[in-house]
Structure 1
Amino acid sequence: MKFTRRQILQSAAALSLLPIAARATPQVLEAREAIQRIAPQGFPETQVWSFDGTVPGAPIRVPQGSRVQRRLLNQLPQPTSVHWHGIRIDNAMDGVPGLTQDVVPTGGSFDYDFVVPDAGTYWYHAHNQSMEQVARGLSGPLIVDEANKPDVDQDLTLMLDDWRLDPETALIVDDFDNGHDLSHAGRLGNLVLVNGQFDPMFEVRRHERLRLRLINSSNARIFDVGLESLSGWIVALDGMPLEAPLPVTEAFPLAPAQRADLIVDVVAESEGTASLVSFERDGAFGLARFTIGEQNRDQGRQGIDPLPRNPLPELQDIDQAPVHRMVLQGGAMRWLESARIGDAELSGRELAQLGRFWALNGYAERPTDPFLDAQLGSVHRIEFVNETVFPHAMHLHGHHFRLVLEDGTLGPWRDTVLVDRGQTRQIALVVDNPGDWLLHCHMLGHAASGMMSWYKVS
């Protein structure tokens, strides 16, 4: 495609209007190998892939409405890219090789430059060979602060992840083409970490109020999160404030890529312990501990106000919006009889030989034509029909959407929806961000083995 003289002049004029600071050399975000202790004391250190030498990568924290500029420098043995998960971003900055940019080769670089329109809790992660690269450590938190922050004593970001390590060497188990993982629940680890640490501890006072920003950065694990000796509310999901804070009275699921902002009060006794816990089949396990010192904070705060709203589009007339059905197919116990890759219709056996075990609407690879070709500003509904025996975390790039509840009312804004086995879930969105956008399962092994599609906003 050739650029016209008019397009070049328009681009040059737009660039000349940017302030000098906006056109400064971006800060380097270096993807490289590193050594870090992530297993408990007594085990060896682990070789990881990192952003800037740490796992997770260093937090990127900016005010709402500001500009993020990072030059990705790839020093890894594989090509890579960065996706800025949950940000309603300019399409060229979305970080999807083959759809929005070229892959960044070893020794290469790419300049990311975008504005963050919404306050909230987001994250960034590799988006080439994601199942392997994210499992090796390539992710980090991206926090966008509100102009008017809630009244809390501490604001803590907690990235939840699980790692599959060899128990003898503490090295990452290199079995990313494991057919069992690809065709079942995905890559589940044998060590759960928070912020790259096993059983981390935070010092708090009794009656302190905390903001806990939970990010599930795992490949496939669904955390059922609960509180012990903490009392509070969910105030935002996937970065977007709830219209009314939701009291936490029981455990709640946090699927891969989903986030939840909690505001909690420490109600444990002095010199006791409060915990963030994960409920598993064989009991509850601590994710992070909060140790309470002797000094108490004065009691005085009651209840909680909603966080300020983000500038999301209004959803109107969803009853008249077209419904686009996406069927989730395949996997163990529901093996594909056949599915398409490009123009070819392949048998289930042929697909399995290629490592493809899943399909979306009969395609076991991102199809040539978009699942949805939508006009800018139009309203659409997508109905996810899960015909498999496994849950899937379906993620849309470039947009947030609202869940359509069983009674027809609208639920919270999300960018990733958990669709349980045999379940049908419907979402509604205004497609107000032009470009070609990925739509995929964020169980990254499922995406790698077939659950990948895309939609166009033009």
Structure 2
Amino acid sequence: MTLFTRRTMLKSAAVVGAYGAGLAVMPRLNQARAAPEPIEINAFTDAVMLDGKQQTRGVMRYAFSGQASGDPQPPVLRARRGEPFAARLLNRLDEPTTLHWHGIRLPNSQDGVPFVTQPYVYPGDTYDYAFAPPDAGTFWYHPHCNTLTQMGQGLAGVLVVEDARDPTFDGEVVLNLRDFRLGGDGQFIEQFKPRDAAKTGTFGTLRTANWQREPRYDVPAGGLVRLRILAADVTRLYNLRLSGAQAEIIAFDGHPVPQRMALDMAVVAPGQRLDLAVRVADAEGMEMVLEDIRPSTPKVVARLRAVGSSLKRSLGDLGPLAENAGVEADLSSATEIPLLLSATAENAARDSICGSIGYSFWAINKIPYPGDTPDPTAPIAELKLGKTYLLNLENVTPHAHPIHLHGMNFKAIASNKRAVQPLVSDTYLVLPDEKVQLALVADNPGDWVFHCHVIEHQKTGMTGYFRVS
């Protein structure tokens, strides 16, 4: 499903390598837990120190109402599996926005996609979201309106869904990874270049974790720490390794992995999440470094520093995560759906307050999505509730595409490029020239968007939706 790499998997991971909000024991970031009354989430524009030199104007932020701290780091929402969750979006931006709850299986009306599941939330307006998350794990929330600009300038937060049956860790660090496109004066420059949007996407100039450069978090020496990682960038694929500590992959895209494995290197694409169990170094002051491995020069993502006397824990002490619902596909009766991922230059994108960036470079089944408009294309396919489907994705482009499905999960069955792992997921990284089969049970009625999470690809045509009824 993702490119988890032991030594035997480095060959396939190297293909992707060629492409190119922290909650710790101390300090604690902004966070809120779902309560009977909605958590009010403000979306607004602010001046924020991102590069460590000067404040960047026009940063788009989320913050909880009544939040006393001026901390600009993206807030972490917390909810409990199966319990009512309520959030009220207050739009204090100068443009419409929405909230999409990425990876959550929720009622269609709560999915946050304008013209598909809800209207715009205009400046000064509010919109209430309510659902009971059925799965525990690491998820996230972001706008689905003018997405390249709003996400590119900072709107993205982690949603942690807890389960009391999960094992107890000695600490937790949440890392929200993303680039910002800033000029030499520390101010925003154009979010994309058309020639790059037609290829891998336009990379940022400043790499951050929790909107900071190479942040450091203190963690208990010799303890077991849960490291939750979100790739919230609009373009970048991360090739992650951790030095100075033992670590095991325990969950991916919010769901426990079938078998834990020692972290060698893992590829995490835009929209995906990776959970690690880290056994912290014993000696106080020792640093562990999370790096993004590039083809030439590794880049530091974040650092962990051991503090206190060693707790002398072992990864073997850690019990299993609570299981989420799987994908119980009946392959004997599955209907196959062809999904061709390709480039196109046939149609110009339609103008929209909330969608188009003016170009059409990509398509699904040779049809580029017209943008977030009141008149979308027909669904890719109409699915019958409860029936099993095989999504036959074929990527005929020389670029990787992290394909995300709203509202439901799938499981990889086969690939012509690599041995697939039977992971339950909502976002699959389709490699160049890869043909992959994803098993899907259409268990959630509604119109569910299906798109590449390289946002320039999404906004220039590689988008569609399934109708489940």
TM-score with structure 1 setting the length: 0.86
Out of 278, 292, 296, the position equivalent to 2:306 is: 292
Q: Secondary structure at the match of 1:338?
A: coil
Deviations 1:429-449 (A, max 9, x none): 111010000000000011111
Bigger RCO (CA 8 Å, 6+ sep) = 2
Counterpart contact for 2:240–2:268, Cα < 8 Å? yes
RMSD: 2.4
Larger Rg: 1
Could you tell me how far apart the structure 2 residues matched to 1:235 and 1:141 are? 18
The 8 Å contact of residues 38 and 46 in structure 1, kept in 2 or not, is answered as no
- For 1:338, the equivalent position in structure 2 comes to 346
Change (3 A) 1:368 1:295: same
Counterpart code for 1:132: T
173, 187, 190: which is aligned to 1:171? 187
In structure 2, runs of 5+ residues without a counterpart are 1-33, 64-69, 351-355, 371-375
Equivalent position of 2:207 in the other structure: 192
| Alignment partners' CA distance in 2, 1:232 and 1:293 | 18
How far apart in 2 are the matches of 1:73 and 1:354? 28
Distance 2:198 2:279 in 1: 42
Cα offsets for 1:81-115 (capped at 9, x unmatched): 00000000110000000100111111222111111
1:65 aligns with 2:78: no
Partner of 2:8: none
Within-5 A mapping of 1:8-157: 26-40=38-52, 42-52=53-63, 55-157=72-174
For residues 409 and 328 of structure 1, do their structure 2 counterparts lie closer, same or farther at Cα, with a shift above 3 Å needed? closer
Distance 2:279 2:199 in 1: 39
Measure, in 1, the Cα distance between the counterparts of 2:73 and 2:381: 34
Q: Displacement, 1:370?
A: 1.1
Residue by residue over 1:13-71, the C-alpha shift from the partner in whole angstroms, topping out at 9 and shown as x without a partner, is: xxxxxxxxx9965232111111221112x333443111127655321101111122111
Partner residue in 2 for 1:437: 448
Identical-pair percentage: 31
Equivalent residues, number = 418
Question: Which residue does 2:382 correspond to in 1?
Answer: 373
Quick check: 1:362 aligned with 2:380?
A: no
Matches of 2:72 and 2:294, distance apart in 1: 25
Specify whether residues 376 and 353 from structure 1 end up closer, same or farther in structure 2 by C-alpha distance, changes over 3 A only: closer
Distance in 1 separating the partners of 2:409 and 2:192:
32
208 and 424 in structure 1: CA distance in 2 versus 1, 3 angstrom threshold:
same
Is 1:34–1:54's contact at 8 Å kept on the other side of the alignment? no
Which moves more between the two structures, 219-228 or 290-299?
Answer: 290-299
Report if the CA contact (8 A) 2:327-2:424 is conserved.
Answer: no
Q: Corresponding residue for 1:400?
A: 409
Q: Structure 1: which 5+ runs fail to align?
A: 1-21, 331-335, 343-351
Cα distance in structure 2, aligned partners of 1:238 and 1:228: 23
Change (3 A) 1:81 1:292: same
Asked if the contact 1:340/1:363 (under 8 Å) is kept, the reply is: no
- Select which of 178, 181, 186 maps to 2:196: 181
For residues 170-227 of structure 1, the C-alpha deviation after alignment (integer angstroms, 9 at most, x for no partner) is 1121x13531232121131111111111111111243211100000000010000001
